[in-house]
């Protein structure tokens, strides 16, 4: 039986960087009765992420940047190695990932391939993340990348052998879920 939901109340707890809401609702249980629950949900919009890979050199492009939530939760310096990603804002997922790839890495890609989409933390975050892969060559490098200054981005671009990225997942140097999924996708589908 599909759950039935009736929203009773929706409150905005914070509307600073993104929106944090508290939702109180009734949900029908499997025995047919109703139960009142209250949960918080963080709405930051939907996003897109990409793994850039070079088949000739067997390399990938990743980034490293400071992520406050990881620092708060035990990441000693707060730096995280991850695949390029960004919020859709008003773009469709493909246009977003083209824009974010150029802003963050300096590479101008032409044909990103969407491979799937997923909720990354559905217990508390509303975001759906659209996953892409694309090949790159050094001729596609337009500038140094690093992100956009007015967005306070300070992104380091990393080009590394694909096998090194795989090893970094095993060693725990890469702990970002979207990056792990993309690297494992590349392994499963023998992209490199």
- 161-181: pLDDT as tens digits: 999 999 999 999 999 999 999
CA–CA dist 91, 20 (Å, integer):
22
Same domain, yes or no: 24 and 57:
no
Number of structural domains (the chain) is 2
Kindly indicate the confidence band of residue 146, based on its pLDDT and cuts at 50, 70 and 90: confident
Same domain, yes or no: 157 and 182:
yes
Domain hosting residue 82, numbered range:
47-188
CA–CA dist 86, 100 (Å, integer):
6
pLDDT score recorded for residue 148? 73
- What tens digit of pLDDT does each residue of 116-126 get? 999 999 999 99
pTM of the model: 0.93
The Cβ of residue 84 has, within 10 Å, a number of other Cβ atoms equal to: 30
The Cβ of residue 113 has, within 10 Å, a number of other Cβ atoms equal to: 12
Structure tokens at 163: 């096998």
**31: CB partners within 8 A, 6+ apart:** none
Instruction: Provide, rounded to the nearest whole percent, the portion of the chain with pLDDT above 70.
Output: 96
Same domain, yes or no: 26 and 73:
no
Same domain, yes or no: 27 and 58:
no
Going from the C-alpha of 31 to that of each of 24, 28, 34, the distances in angstroms are 21, 8, 9
- What tens digit of pLDDT does each residue of 42-82 get? 999 999 999 999 999 999 999 999 999 999 999 999 999 99
Instruction: Please state the φ and ψ torsions of residue 174, each to the nearest 5 degrees.
Output: -105, 115
Only one residue has tokens 């707890």, namely 13
């Amino acid at each position: 039986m599909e759950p039935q939901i009736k929203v009773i109340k929706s409150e905005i707890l914070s509307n600073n960087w993104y929106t944090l809401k508290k939702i109180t609702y009734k949900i029908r249980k499997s025995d047919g009765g109703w139960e009142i629950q209250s949960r918080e949900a963080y709405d930051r919009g939907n996003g897109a992420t990409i793994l850039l890979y070079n088949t000739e050199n067997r390399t990938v492009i990743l980034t490293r940047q400071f992520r406050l939530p990881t620092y708060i939760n035990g990441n000693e310096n707060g730096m995280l190695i991850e695949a390029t990603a960004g919020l859709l804002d008003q773009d469709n997922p493909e246009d977003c990932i083209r824009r974010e790839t150029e802003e963050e890495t300096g590479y101008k890609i032409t044909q990103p391939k969407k491979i799937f989409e997923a909720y990354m933390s559905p217990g508390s975050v509303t975001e759906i993340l659209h996953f892409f892969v694309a090949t790159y060559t050094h001729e596609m490098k337009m500038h140094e990348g690093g992100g956009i200054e007015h967005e306070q981005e300070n992104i380091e671009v990393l080009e590394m052998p694909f096998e090194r990225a795989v090893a970094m997942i095993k060693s725990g140097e890469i702990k970002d879920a979207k990056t792990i999924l993309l690297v494992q996708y590349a392994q499963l589908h023998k992209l490199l």
